[in-house]
Amino acid sequence: MQNTEALSFRDAGEADVPAIVVLVQSAYRGEASRTGWTTEADLLDGQRIDPEGVLEVIGKPASRVLLAERGGELLACCHIEKQGDACYFGMFAVAPQGQGSGAGKATLAEAERIGGETWHCRELRMTVIDVREDLINWYQRRGYRRTGEHAPFPYGDERFGIPKRDDLRFAWLAKSLQKEHLA
């Protein structure tokens, strides 16, 4: 039976770090991630995030780690950070058993709301491994566009995983957060 209770959102604190690491790892790496569609298990081994990295973004100014919970269960998380007049979005993860439930869409929408209404950012920007066409398509259906910019994958830095391929890089995606007004 599916839980129809609404999602609730809150900012993460230091006590949430272990649960965030487990959530992000389960969504992207290892066999557990294969039950969802966001797995990177065919692209990367090793870890996706470490506790130090989560603590770092929780403690940064103009930075939040947003948690989405239903019935006290952590279903999704993301990191948002105000960077000038844009908002960076990352560390997005939905528990494999919650993928397809709307938790991801709702979490992304809440991050967009915070970026636009609270921080008054003009756009939300993110990076996605560019061979993840299914994931990029998911974002494009939500109004994101490829910017044409790319960033290198951090080969040799095992904090971000152990690549199984030598052609990984990040594509930048962006979406305007400005409300269009009709004249």
pLDDT band, residue 1 (cuts 50/70/90): very low
**Average pLDDT over all residues of the chain:** 91
Would you state the pLDDT for residue 183?
37
Give bridge partners of residue 146 from the DSSP assignment.
173
Residue 63: its H or E element: strand 63-70
pLDDT band, residue 160 (cuts 50/70/90): confident
Beta-carbon contacts of residue 90 (< 8 Å; ≥ 6 apart): 78, 79, 81, 126, 127
What's the alpha-carbon Rg for the chain, to the nearest Å?
A: 16
Nearest to 139 by CA among 181, 89, 97, 178: 89
In the block, tokens 């947003």 appear at: 66
pLDDT in tens, 11-32: 999 999 999 999 999 998 888 8
Average pLDDT (166-177) is: 96
Average pLDDT (93-116) is: 94
Query: Residue 78: helix, strand or coil by DSSP?
Result: strand
pLDDT in tens, 61-72: 999 999 999 999
Task: State the Cα–Cα distance between residues 52 and 159, nearest whole angstrom.
Answer: 10
Would you state the pLDDT for residue 4?
57
39: burial class by Cβ within 10 Å (0-12, 13-18, 19+)? buried
pLDDT band, residue 170 (cuts 50/70/90): very high
Q: Note every long-range contact of 61-64, with CB atoms under 8 Å and residues 24 or more positions apart, other chains counting.
A: 62/119, 64/11, 64/12, 64/114
Q: Bigger pLDDT: 71 or 82?
A: 82
Residue 181 has pLDDT above 50, yes or no: no
Would you state the pLDDT for residue 47?
87
Percent of the chain having pLDDT more than 90? 75
pLDDT band, residue 182 (cuts 50/70/90): very low
Average pLDDT (105-132) is: 96
Backbone angles phi, psi at 12, to 5 degrees: -75, 150
Check: CB of residue 12 under 8 Å from CB of residue 67.
Answer: yes
Give the pTM. Answer: 0.91
Would you state the pLDDT for residue 19?
97
CATH topology of domain 8-176: Aminopeptidase (3.40.630)
